[in-house]
Structure 1
Amino acid sequence: MTGTDAPVPDVETTVVSSAKGRHGVLSTATLKRFAINVASLFSVQMANMLLPLLTVPYVVRVIGPERLGLLNFSQAYVAYFTLLINYGFDMAAVRTIAANRTDKELVNRTFSEVIAGKTILWLLSTLIFMGITWFSPEFRSHLWLHTCTYLSCIGIVLFPVWLYQAMEDLGRVALFNLIVKILFTLSVFVLIRKPDDYIYQNLSVSVAQIVVSIIAFWIALRRFRLTFTWPSIANLKTRFIENSTLFFSSVTITLYAGSAVFLLGLLSNAYDVGIFSAGTRLESIARSFVTMGLNQAFFPIVAGAFGRGREDGLRVVRTTFFPLLAFMTLVSIGLWLIAPLFIAKFYGDQFLDAIRVLRVVSLLPITIGISNLLGFHTMLNLRMDKAFFFITLGGSVIGLLINILFIREMGYLGAAYAWVSAEAFIALAMYSYLYHKGIQVIQGAYLREAVVFSKTRLTTLFK
């Protein structure tokens, strides 16, 4: 019997010791920090849902499906440069700092290396962006739109969301994001008055992001008592080499999850991009309610548990699986049921084709929730970076092939089917790999513990 197959401890003993904050799955202090962070992120997601209720119906009726498609195509184009700038630094830095939060020298060194690395990659990305956008007639025809969108990359360099995440101080991140949403909402009504004003939507997002990122950067320096010093070439080289696997993993994830809009723009038309974007918007917002809490607030906790020991980390993952699956299933059912009403009321009759898209992608909360738990939280914390990369690479290849085939045949609906298929493959492959390695994440014995633990923790929190 392997270590991962050890008998499950008595549930009541576990809950009691956990309530005292000594052993168990999560201590009371840890859970309270997690609850505060999730509540902060929840407030941001409420803003993400409520503020668009004011702007999106107004904007789409002014600019129409085609121009909405152009806006989303530009965002998908710039997302590739964002991917290069991030280079996997964020996930690696969170993993390192969360396990060594009291080591001030390590935190300061990691902070400096990440900011310096992102700055170098931003300079490289700017040169590539200028070359592609200027010399490609298709991109040059919308030069100013793409430039306005690309300005947001400055915010990607400066916003140390990964640092706040590792320090479990996401309340401030929530506040910063809320400020961005409010500034953007106000600017939409001022700037967008006629169809040709659509370019101002992405410009306002970029400017708001830059301003808030500068403020967040300055506050991080003061709050965590950091000093930025340009790292040596040797340290930067080591940082790039160590984070390369996570970078290529993020590339593959973007290829299958973020390329649908881009491929629709290349292989289909702006109308299909607009319909697909409208159909996937609610799913994206709804899923982020859980995935933001799971990936941003919960990841440092899991990383810390794995830092104490392999079994501690696996136990947290196993206990989390069943509540996550149940909640994501409810989210998916809700999306499928509400699709006709949401599209008709939110976007109008021009976007009724998006109903079918939303119903197809309503399966994503389940598949992505499971793959995040198996991949980000389990495989990466067990340092299975290469396996994680090859699985996501396989998913991206399958996703791209299905996208190209289905988009040509079914347009926006084909892109939706391709996305769901790729995510399902990723989740199944991750589970199979962990099972092959003797790590059984889904254990029925932990169902009872998850129920008792959740009930006890909620009671403790409300008290």
Structure 2
Amino acid sequence: MRRNYMYTVLYQCTVMLVPLITVPYVSRVLLPEGIGVFAYTSSIAQYFSLIGMLGIGVYGNKIIAMSRDDKKEMSRNFFGIYCLQIFLSALSILGYLALVFLFIHSERQIAMIQTIALLGTLADCTWFFSGLELFGGIVLRNTLIKVVGLIAIFIFVKHAGDLALYTWIMCLSTFLGQLVMWFYVRKLIVRVHLSFRSVLKHIRPTLVYFLPEVALQIYFVLDKTMIGLLSTKSEVGIYDYSDKIQKMALSVVTSLGTVMLPRMTHTFASGQFNRAKHYIMKSLDFSTLLGIPITFGLAGIAKEFVPWYMGDSFMKCVTVLILISPTIFLMAWSGVFGSQYLVPLGKMKEYTLSLYAGAIVNFTVNLFLIRSFGSIGASIGTLAAELSVTLVQIYFIKNIIPFKKILPRTVIYLFAGAVMYLLVRAAGQYLGSSIITTVVQIGVGSCSYLMIIMVCEYFMKGGILLNELKKRMGWINEV
């Protein structure tokens, strides 16, 4: 299990890291306007990608996890789900092309190139490997393809007029990354007879998982679309790059949920409820331990990090990053409550309600704030949405999770994070903006956070943190 967690962290980091490596270069070449056009058209394409998958990502993961002990049944489920995916993806691509020709004019060229990313949805079988807990192939595939894309950007994208070329490279990386996984699929499945009914039976349950995906899309992607419609493309660029950095930091925490979903599904399906509850408590503690310092750390380094990393034209990202940094902690908790309890246990109604609460809050706040405040208004909307999701999920599981046991450790982590933030800010103010400053801030923050928890653990339990950390990392191998 530890290996799968590390693979998934590497996978999430690879997906986010390659674009982030290019940020200092691309931000100075394409500027906020170019980045904004790419992000705006990409956000529209993602709506159609959502339709093409129809909740298959989570549903397929769960069904494969439940049937993986019977290779023939697993293969039948795979082919049935994928045939449905092909049909839906083809319809979504046609719908997207119609939208582009009818309603998009000034950004039509870039929007047309985004069609290639939709072809990636057609070929996507990541859910199959996630259900089998085979994360090594996913990581290898993404690493190789993304690195090639990274090199291509530095070679071919030279000035602001190369936005179309940049879009080609990004979209082809997505498509080829999905396509290459099919070399692994044929080794894991067997030929089975597939009837029309075996495909149709998956439509209704995928719709159940599609509804929460719609809500997720609303407050993950709608921000960029609404900024593009209500503000300027430059504001979209500001928000998009801030969002990329936040998601990179977040991936370390949310990767645990990706790994735990198939295992929790299998554990619940086999009736091991006490064991599942044990996993949830350990996972929540581990996610909190990681989520809080990342939240405080991102807010702490933002002022010195943005100028040297993105350039002066992206200085507004400092405020945006500070505003959205608390979502890391909130999503660490909601990831445990949703992905590791509500979804594996089949409580989709509760899970969906929590996401729609966040979507409604996000849309409402965006509607009132984006026109006046642009990316900053969208950031406030995102924070309010994540808070809503977490609170609603806490309400649904309040009788399951003993929060009294979690609270003491959470208070310690919050105290350590707050002190860490002050030390990181002091280092930033003293050293100024540079890459050296960011490295020093991360080092100071990490060491101070661990030291403070160590001291608190010593006085509270008469022990030291080292053994506690070993236990918390070790529980992953129990799963």
TM-score band w.r.t. shorter chain? 0.7 to 0.9
Provide the rounded CA distance (Å) in 1 between the counterparts of 2:222 and 2:57: 21
Kindly state the Cα deviation for residue 249 of structure 1 after the two structures are TM-superposed: 1.0
Kindly indicate whether the alpha-carbon contact (under 8 Å) linking 1:314 and 1:441 is maintained by their aligned counterparts in 2. Answer: no
Out of 104, 116, 129, the residue aligned to residue 96 of structure 2 is 129
* 1:412 corresponds to: 375
Residues 227 and 269 of structure 1, relative CA distance in 2, 3 Å threshold = farther
Kindly indicate whether the alpha-carbon contact (under 8 Å) linking 2:4 and 2:259 is maintained by their aligned counterparts in 1. Answer: yes
* 1:65 corresponds to: 32
Out of 145, 167, 172, the residue aligned to residue 110 of structure 2 is 145
Provide the rounded CA distance (Å) in 2 between the counterparts of 1:369 and 1:416: 18
* 2:264 corresponds to: 302
Query: How do residues 262-273 of structure 1 correspond to structure 2 at under 5 angstroms?
Result: 262-273=225-236
1:439 alignment partner AA: I
Provide the rounded CA distance (Å) in 1 between the counterparts of 2:212 and 2:90: 22
Provide the rounded CA distance (Å) in 2 between the counterparts of 1:188 and 1:146: 19
* 2:403 corresponds to: 442
Residues 426 and 190 of structure 1, relative CA distance in 2, 3 Å threshold = same
Kindly state the Cα deviation for residue 100 of structure 1 after the two structures are TM-superposed: 2.8
Kindly state the Cα deviation for residue 459 of structure 1 after the two structures are TM-superposed: 6.2
1:183 alignment partner AA: V
Residues 445 and 392 of structure 1, relative CA distance in 2, 3 Å threshold = closer
Provide the rounded CA distance (Å) in 2 between the counterparts of 1:420 and 1:445: 23
Kindly indicate whether the alpha-carbon contact (under 8 Å) linking 2:72 and 2:192 is maintained by their aligned counterparts in 1. Answer: no
Residues 102 and 48 of structure 1, relative CA distance in 2, 3 Å threshold = closer
Residues 226 and 341 of structure 1, relative CA distance in 2, 3 Å threshold = farther
Kindly state the Cα deviation for residue 453 of structure 1 after the two structures are TM-superposed: 7.7
* 1:86 corresponds to: 53
Kindly state the Cα deviation for residue 143 of structure 1 after the two structures are TM-superposed: 1.9
Kindly state the Cα deviation for residue 228 of structure 1 after the two structures are TM-superposed: 7.4
Kindly state the Cα deviation for residue 191 of structure 1 after the two structures are TM-superposed: 2.2
Residue 243 of structure 1 aligns to a residue whose secondary structure is helix
Query: How do residues 32-431 of structure 1 correspond to structure 2 at under 5 angstroms?
Result: 34-47=1-14, 51-52=18-19, 54-136=21-103, 139-222=104-187, 224-227=188-191, 231-291=194-254, 293-309=255-271, 310-431=273-394
Which deviations, in whole Å up to 9, do the C-alpha atoms of 1:298-323 show, x marking residues without a partner?
A: 22222222122233222211222122
Residues 312 and 459 of structure 1, relative CA distance in 2, 3 Å threshold = closer
Residues 98 and 76 of structure 1, relative CA distance in 2, 3 Å threshold = same
Residues 324 and 187 of structure 1, relative CA distance in 2, 3 Å threshold = same
Which deviations, in whole Å up to 9, do the C-alpha atoms of 1:43-67 show, x marking residues without a partner?
A: 3455456644642222111111111
Kindly indicate whether the alpha-carbon contact (under 8 Å) linking 2:282 and 2:472 is maintained by their aligned counterparts in 1. Answer: no
1:294 alignment partner AA: L
Provide the rounded CA distance (Å) in 2 between the counterparts of 1:185 and 1:78: 22
Provide the rounded CA distance (Å) in 1 between the counterparts of 2:328 and 2:44: 24
- TM-score, structure 2 as length reference: 0.83
Provide the rounded CA distance (Å) in 2 between the counterparts of 1:455 and 1:232: 50
Kindly state the Cα deviation for residue 155 of structure 1 after the two structures are TM-superposed: 1.6
Provide the rounded CA distance (Å) in 2 between the counterparts of 1:323 and 1:284: 18
* 1:7 corresponds to: none
1:82 alignment partner AA: S
Q: Give the unaligned 5+ runs of structure 2.
A: 410-460
Kindly state the Cα deviation for residue 377 of structure 1 after the two structures are TM-superposed: 1.3
Which deviations, in whole Å up to 9, do the C-alpha atoms of 1:295-348 show, x marking residues without a partner?
A: 322222222221222332222112221221121001001101110122111110
User: Percent identity among equivalent residues?
Assistant: 21
Provide the rounded CA distance (Å) in 1 between the counterparts of 2:284 and 2:292: 12
Provide the rounded CA distance (Å) in 2 between the counterparts of 1:106 and 1:207: 33
Stretch deviating more after TM superposition (62-71 or 152-161): 152-161
Kindly state the Cα deviation for residue 390 of structure 1 after the two structures are TM-superposed: 2.1
Kindly indicate whether the alpha-carbon contact (under 8 Å) linking 1:279 and 1:356 is maintained by their aligned counterparts in 2. Answer: no
Kindly state the Cα deviation for residue 451 of structure 1 after the two structures are TM-superposed: 9.9
Which deviations, in whole Å up to 9, do the C-alpha atoms of 1:92-114 show, x marking residues without a partner?
A: 12212223321112211121122
Provide the rounded CA distance (Å) in 1 between the counterparts of 2:133 and 2:402: 25
Kindly state the Cα deviation for residue 145 of structure 1 after the two structures are TM-superposed: 0.8
Kindly indicate whether the alpha-carbon contact (under 8 Å) linking 2:27 and 2:35 is maintained by their aligned counterparts in 1. Answer: yes
Provide the rounded CA distance (Å) in 2 between the counterparts of 1:207 and 1:53: 17
Q: Give the unaligned 5+ runs of structure 1.
A: 1-33
2:470 alignment partner AA: K
Which deviations, in whole Å up to 9, do the C-alpha atoms of 1:341-367 show, x marking residues without a partner?
A: 221111101111110000001111111
Provide the rounded CA distance (Å) in 2 between the counterparts of 1:315 and 1:281: 33
Q: Report how many residues are paired.
A: 421
Higher relative contact order (CA 8 A, sep 6+): 1
Kindly indicate whether the alpha-carbon contact (under 8 Å) linking 2:9 and 2:251 is maintained by their aligned counterparts in 1. Answer: no
Kindly state the Cα deviation for residue 69 of structure 1 after the two structures are TM-superposed: 0.4
Kindly indicate whether the alpha-carbon contact (under 8 Å) linking 2:219 and 2:359 is maintained by their aligned counterparts in 1. Answer: yes
Which deviations, in whole Å up to 9, do the C-alpha atoms of 1:129-148 show, x marking residues without a partner?
A: 12111111xx1322221121
